[in-house]
Structure 1
């Protein structure tokens, strides 16, 4: 086989080039080729310096994911990097695109680092429940200092080349088109000089002088690190770089790395890494399915959801026609969109010029006829079948042939909605999650007659607007809300039986969710969908609304809220719940947290099994993608279906049986056969 690594000579400089598309991943052939090329440069007396660069769109963007879970093949990346650093001839990394993970570690092992201004560098291993394992946690602090290294290693977010230059990670920024030439000239200028080895750097002494920086960082980043093992291991590794000699620090890094690699969190997060990619693949849809052009998008409804949906497309540079029925609602909606953009600008996430550019792509209208040339129209109107069918019938009249018509419905049948049109093949669901301009998940609902090119276009468009998409078939609530309804059903029953509603919430917080069901109700607003008749009280929620307890916006809902929106259980709510329980004949009892957790989560898994059995979801990992991105399921458990397989499907079945809850035939069969869902 032809090696992905080749060498080129430029006088006394050997240029080592990787050509391993698409991202120059550091697979075995690349590692071996690099080791051979370095050896070649060292053995040639006419070579006085070396440059490592990459063809294609990027520098080495990380490990080869196809090697995950397989027996390692030498040379290992640490061995290759040690050989690079040990060279007594200067080695220069010429970086474009991204230098991530092992790619960043490789750059650190080189003696000098140059990059184009648009390059990004980072160590994102914590996103997979790991830490860098090829010396990155030890070389980086020695080069830039422990304080500058902590965010890169612990949080895993890449930084720009300019920021990398500021902290000392880079030696020089080059022109966009002159990277190789400048790297060769730079390498030549260093020929014959002693080489600086990162492992011998002393910037890590800031961690010796001020050891409190590690604990302070842990405190300030506590929310981002909550429940995760890898960030704490990353802090320990960076601290080791300040307290131990390089060789001992590398040994400590390896111990921490192996512990994480064999732990359940990294397995779960690596599962999710592949799950997100698998979700893009539709089993019965050829990869070469032609895509429909999306040059302009219509959005019906300028409320919170419609405005948020529109912002996704505007931010991606796609013009939007925003339709409302009343001028006041239209003006209010567009004003909210601008304020949201301006808030992002104040936080430094975009410039005011970008705010203006996005808003300039927006055309507000009160006339359906203005949607005539849209390639895609998404309705975000009231969740009522009759209303939605009226909207789709009107769209069928005014939009051009071939336009895709999408509903943002969260529960209703796409197939029934499609009957209001003469083009059911061009109808599908695009279920955004609120706030739609922030939440990553997009459930793409495939109707019985949705055409393949329409579905493929929607999936590609999801990536264009920065969403993580998963395909769902048609059923009430699709994947996410169908499973959520089972959790809410049990939450409501538990508080009738004697469980404290704050215990129900706290159990999910302890599991890793950002909030529990009653907190979520308060945040969303308990009056959403309320009939507005204080005299008609049939549920706890209606009783709370009748008492003016609408949630956080009213300062009281299930909880009482202070000025900082900190929650406190309410005596009034306890009395309301106790009254409802008594009238329903429920005997109050103590309900332990184990029972609460099992009754909230196990029925969700059971419903997920039914969703798989009914072919509503293509694969179990798609369900995990939905719940991690749309509902806050903790990523370090891998999602509901992976988590269930981790604790054992037989455990789920036994728990459901113990609590007298339904068990689907498919779940019971999988458990009996000792299978996992995938």
Structure 2
């Protein structure tokens, strides 16, 4: 008998118990143990009913991620589920915590399911580029009908126990916290009432109700927008449809064929990489997990604009009181009104209640003086990108804030060391770079200064989790990781338009790759004035920043979506970018002023120049130690800039393309175009010469 799965009998109930911390994942040992325990239960003449229950905080939460990428050892999960379903004794699955993926498929192989009211169930395989491969696409629709099964399987979203009961996924829901007691009570009821074995595969009522409908056609049409560019959601629909068009055994075979197609898809590799990278990124090189963490109970934010207001909402959402400082009462009132409007809109969509709106607003207050920051644990400065202004503010915060308070800047480009030098406590200064809209975007780029203490670094990483962000620790340089690479791509996009491409052609190449928006549409979203301010600051610092037709747009007051005109124009209440002949005229004038003769540019050249310049810069970032690992760059771009997760991030994508191909093209551009951005990174050259990848570092 396996140590992780045991069998014993309590009265007439044979109890199969899984105990494989932390989440009872379906490892080879668990699968083997489940089969062995079932055999023992079948042979136990005194066991009338069998109960499957798990120790710890959860039911089987899915596959064992430690076995990802390794050959599957027998017994495979489909075989385990089939053996449970084929049992001639009724089996009850007792669910607490989460029953996800293979865990829910195992429960669906049982004949009855009881759950605690706090439990959740789901089939999230699609998030790894897969589909349920142990009968989930065939059994779930037999319980829920087509529409709900399609929704659950193509999104991977979880369903609470009460909803699962309404959908017939579970047969009973019990309050309380003792899952074994709830399971034994339900099993005893099954025994006392002589309930028969009830196999999900034999249920046909829901299949008959949806057979011949256009639900699958409609669902595919909806996915064209929701899952644009993705592979596995459409395969999930094919698999669920097989449950309605084929006998169960053939449907299971079809599911397996589609599962293997997903396994062989490059998207699966990219999504699995993203999955592991997101978990690995929280481990910071050189930072001990025993490092003390400061308690952040109150927060101050400087600036009530779009960014400051969004930052404040993150803390209110986490139950942390926050005070926003502004220079003028009018600006403060406007900022607070925008925050309330954002919460009200969320409530209208049913995502939070009106009571939660009021609760969160009660945690946000305003002030016109830094004196009200005297007792906060953290202050985040979120004013516009001006070195002089930020240094002035930090000097004032140094006097206003208590010892031990962390002083953070939301700067997207400026040196954290330079800002910290304006204080007497550089060890307490760090960059917390939120991404717009700050209350929505998941990335928090955490910028360590030369003198930032380990305690402050550890606190920032812990805080990211508390406010439900993905924190990535990076080093200090112009633009850090994300914007440093973005600015290289932006400069190349600008050059391509200067040479003859249109903004919409450049943007289409990027959206076809999987980005939610292109370079110029993103500039409009962020605000053209932001880039303009950055370029002006660099010019003040003596840098040779080339002239730009984007500067002309900013000087005309075309600042992007907020003025309904930027690189594109926008209709009231609509964020869809519309090409504008006026911008074409500005670009044509700029070319003429600069003596540039326009030429036709291919989509392939746009792809290579926009993307390979990023990869080359990413290699330089790794060389310099600004990012510790290529996965740090990948996660920054996935969660901060919308890089398609199914491509794994820019460095993983580069590995898939082939570093030798990228290096050869970079060298050619360096010969043809010149420029420091095209000087091949030494690390890229080294990896190619050694036949290695970024992921090998």
Give the Cα–Cα distance (whole angstroms) in 1 for the partners of residues 48 and 91 of structure 2.
10
State the secondary structure of the residue aligned to 1:559.
Answer: coil
State the secondary structure of the residue aligned to 1:405.
Answer: strand
Give the Cα–Cα distance (whole angstroms) in 2 for the partners of residues 46 and 586 of structure 1.
89
Is the contact made by 1:145 and 1:206 (CA closer than 8 Å) also made in structure 2?
no
Q: Kindly tell me the number of residue pairs found equivalent between the two proteins.
A: 673
State the secondary structure of the residue aligned to 1:434.
Answer: coil
Q: 1:461 to 1:566 in 2, by over 3 A?
A: closer
1:638 aligns with 2:642: no
Q: CA deviation at 1:174?
A: 0.4
Give the Cα–Cα distance (whole angstroms) in 2 for the partners of residues 23 and 354 of structure 1.
31
Deviations 1:155-211 (A, max 9, x none): 111111121111111111101235332321221222243211011111452575234
1:541 aligns with 2:550: yes
Q: CA deviation at 1:422?
A: 1.9
Give the Cα–Cα distance (whole angstroms) in 2 for the partners of residues 220 and 369 of structure 1.
53
Q: CA deviation at 1:267?
A: 0.5
1:647 aligns with 2:649: no
Please name the residue that 1:194 is paired with: 196
Which residues of 2 match residues 336-485 of structure 1 at below 5 A? 336-485=338-487
Q: 1:521 to 1:361 in 2, by over 3 A?
A: same
Give the Cα–Cα distance (whole angstroms) in 2 for the partners of residues 546 and 446 of structure 1.
35
Give the Cα–Cα distance (whole angstroms) in 2 for the partners of residues 598 and 556 of structure 1.
29
Please name the residue that 2:117 is paired with: 117
Is the contact made by 1:59 and 1:98 (CA closer than 8 Å) also made in structure 2?
yes
1:128 aligns with 2:128: yes
Please name the residue that 1:676 is paired with: 693
Please name the residue that 2:501 is paired with: 499
Please name the residue that 2:536 is paired with: none
Is the contact made by 2:128 and 2:272 (CA closer than 8 Å) also made in structure 1?
yes
State the secondary structure of the residue aligned to 1:9.
Answer: strand
State the secondary structure of the residue aligned to 1:299.
Answer: strand
Q: 1:271 to 1:297 in 2, by over 3 A?
A: same
Q: 1:267 to 1:238 in 2, by over 3 A?
A: same
Which residues of 2 match residues 27-426 of structure 1 at below 5 A? 27-191=27-191, 192-206=194-208, 209-426=211-428
Q: CA deviation at 1:233?
A: 0.5
Give the Cα–Cα distance (whole angstroms) in 2 for the partners of residues 45 and 28 of structure 1.
28
1:593 aligns with 2:603: yes
* Greater Cα shift, 291-300 or 128-137: 291-300
Is the contact made by 2:109 and 2:199 (CA closer than 8 Å) also made in structure 1?
yes
Q: CA deviation at 1:549?
A: 3.4
Give the Cα–Cα distance (whole angstroms) in 2 for the partners of residues 620 and 601 of structure 1.
16
Q: 1:269 to 1:529 in 2, by over 3 A?
A: closer
Is the contact made by 1:59 and 1:103 (CA closer than 8 Å) also made in structure 2?
yes
State the secondary structure of the residue aligned to 2:170.
Answer: coil
Please name the residue that 1:662 is paired with: 679
Q: CA deviation at 1:539?
A: 2.7
Give the Cα–Cα distance (whole angstroms) in 1 for the partners of residues 586 and 396 of structure 2.
45
State the secondary structure of the residue aligned to 2:691.
Answer: coil
State the secondary structure of the residue aligned to 1:94.
Answer: strand
Please name the residue that 1:534 is paired with: none
Give the Cα–Cα distance (whole angstroms) in 1 for the partners of residues 335 and 557 of structure 2.
26
Q: CA deviation at 1:645?
A: 0.5
Give the Cα–Cα distance (whole angstroms) in 1 for the partners of residues 294 and 9 of structure 2.
46
Give the Cα–Cα distance (whole angstroms) in 2 for the partners of residues 49 and 254 of structure 1.
31
2:526 counterpart (493, 511, 524): 524
Is the contact made by 2:142 and 2:206 (CA closer than 8 Å) also made in structure 1?
yes
1:25 aligns with 2:25: yes
Give the Cα–Cα distance (whole angstroms) in 2 for the partners of residues 453 and 52 of structure 1.
45
TM-score where L is the length of structure 2: 0.94
Give the Cα–Cα distance (whole angstroms) in 2 for the partners of residues 295 and 553 of structure 1.
34
Unaligned runs of 5+ in 2: 534-545, 671-677
Unaligned runs of 5+ in 1: 532-536
Is the contact made by 2:2 and 2:36 (CA closer than 8 Å) also made in structure 1?
no
Q: CA deviation at 1:46?
A: 0.6
Give the Cα–Cα distance (whole angstroms) in 1 for the partners of residues 254 and 397 of structure 2.
63
Give the Cα–Cα distance (whole angstroms) in 1 for the partners of residues 555 and 269 of structure 2.
48
State the secondary structure of the residue aligned to 2:694.
Answer: coil
Give the Cα–Cα distance (whole angstroms) in 2 for the partners of residues 9 and 326 of structure 1.
72
* Greater Cα shift, 223-232 or 201-210: 201-210
Is the contact made by 2:385 and 2:530 (CA closer than 8 Å) also made in structure 1?
no
* Greater Cα shift, 563-572 or 79-88: 563-572
Q: 1:562 to 1:365 in 2, by over 3 A?
A: closer
State the secondary structure of the residue aligned to 1:24.
Answer: coil
Question: C-alpha root-mean-square deviation of aligned residues, in Å?
Answer: 1.8
1:574 aligns with 2:574: no
Is the contact made by 1:297 and 1:320 (CA closer than 8 Å) also made in structure 2?
yes
Q: 1:324 to 1:549 in 2, by over 3 A?
A: closer
Q: CA deviation at 1:363?
A: 2.7
State the secondary structure of the residue aligned to 1:604.
Answer: helix
Is the contact made by 2:569 and 2:579 (CA closer than 8 Å) also made in structure 1?
yes
Q: CA deviation at 1:538?
A: 5.0
2:619 counterpart (569, 585, 609): 609
Give the Cα–Cα distance (whole angstroms) in 1 for the partners of residues 498 and 307 of structure 2.
33
State the secondary structure of the residue aligned to 2:457.
Answer: helix
Deviations 1:490-540 (A, max 9, x none): 111111111122111110111111111111222333344658xxxxx9531
Q: 1:546 to 1:405 in 2, by over 3 A?
A: closer
Is the contact made by 1:380 and 1:408 (CA closer than 8 Å) also made in structure 2?
yes
